[in-house]
Amino acid sequence: MPSLQCLSKQKRLLRKAVSACLGRVPTASIDAQSNEIARRIQAIPEFKTAGGISCYLSMPLNEVATGPITTHRLFVPKITSKENSLMDCFEIYSEEDLESLPSGTWGIKEPDPLYDGKARANALEEQTEQLDVILLPAVAYDRSFSRLGHGKGYYDRFIAAYTSRGRRRPLLVGLSLREQLLESGAIPMSDFDWKVDVVVTPDEILVREKERGESTTQ
C-alpha cells in the first residue's frame, strides 16, 4: 500500500480533477439527477424499513441535492470540532425545524444542540435509537465502493465513533451524480477509509457483496 503521504497526494489530485468536472455540470442536470436518485433510494429495502436515518444537507452546487430525501426519523450532521474533524448527528423533529436551521460550517444548515430549550437526541448517545442508514456526501465514488470525501475525515471518524460504542454499523449509502462515479479501483484507499455498502446513481443501484467474515461493526 502506498504511504499515507502518497495517498493524500493522489486523493488531492483526483479531488481537484473531479471537482473541475462537476463545476461544468448544469444546475438543471444536477436537479434532474437528484430527483431520480431520490426515487431510486425508495427501492432499497433497508431504506424502506429504516427507523433512524442520517442524511447530509446538500450544498447548493456540485453534489446530489437531498431535499427530496429528508424523511423518516431524520438525523443531520453538525460539525463540533474543525480542528479534530469531529461531528455529531442530531435529530430533526419536523419540517419546520428543518427549514429553520441556521447556517453553519461552509454555509450548510446545521442543527443547534438544543431544540425548544431541551437537548436534541444525539445519534452517538447510548439512549438514542439505532441509526439504520447513513446517506453520505462525497466528491466521488468508484465501482468498487470506495469513497473520495472532501478530505477532512468527518464521516470516517463519526462512523468509527458510532461503531466503537457497540452499535450495529448502519448501512452506508453513497449518493452519486453520473459525473461522480468512477471505474473500479480509481479511488486510492487507506486502512482508515470506509467503503460504502450501496451507491445510488440516477441510472442504477450498486450493492456491495459483503466479504467473508466481515463484521457489521467495521
Does the annotation flag 208 for ligand binding? no
pLDDT at 216: 47
Measure the CA–CA gap between 178 and 111, rounded to whole angstroms: 30
Q: Give the closest residue to 79 by CA, choosing from 8, 158, 139.
A: 158
Within a 13 Å sphere around the CA of 218, how many CA atoms are in the beta-carbon half?
7
The response to whether 51 counts as a known ligand-binding position is no
pLDDT digits (tens, 9 = 90+) for 105-140: 788 999 999 999 999 999 999 999 999 999 999 999
Q: Give pLDDT, residue 217.
A: 45
How much is the pLDDT for 105?
A: 78
78 is in an annotated binding site: no
Question: How confident is the model over 152-171, as a mean pLDDT?
Answer: 94
Q: Which of 79, 86, 108, 92 is nearest to 53 (CA)?
A: 92
149 annotated as ligand-binding: yes
User: Angle CA(49)–CA(170)–CA(76) in degrees, nearest 5?
Assistant: 85
Q: Is 150 annotated as a binding residue?
A: yes
pLDDT (mean) for 156-185? 96
% pLDDT > 90, the chain: 80
As a whole number, mean pLDDT of residues 138-150 equals 97
Between these two residues, 211 and 164, which has the higher pLDDT value? 164
Quick: pLDDT tens for 94-113. Answer: 999 999 999 987 889 999 99
Q: What is the band of 3 on the pLDDT scale with cuts at 50, 70, 90?
A: confident
Average per-residue pLDDT for the chain:
92
pTM of the model: 0.92
Asked whether residue 11 is marked as a ligand-binding residue, the answer is yes
Half-sphere exposure of 86 (CA within 13 A, CB side): 7
Domain architecture of the chain: domains with CATH: 4-207 (3.40.50.10420)
| 141 labelled binding-site residue | no
Q: Is 212 a residue whose pLDDT tops 70? A: no
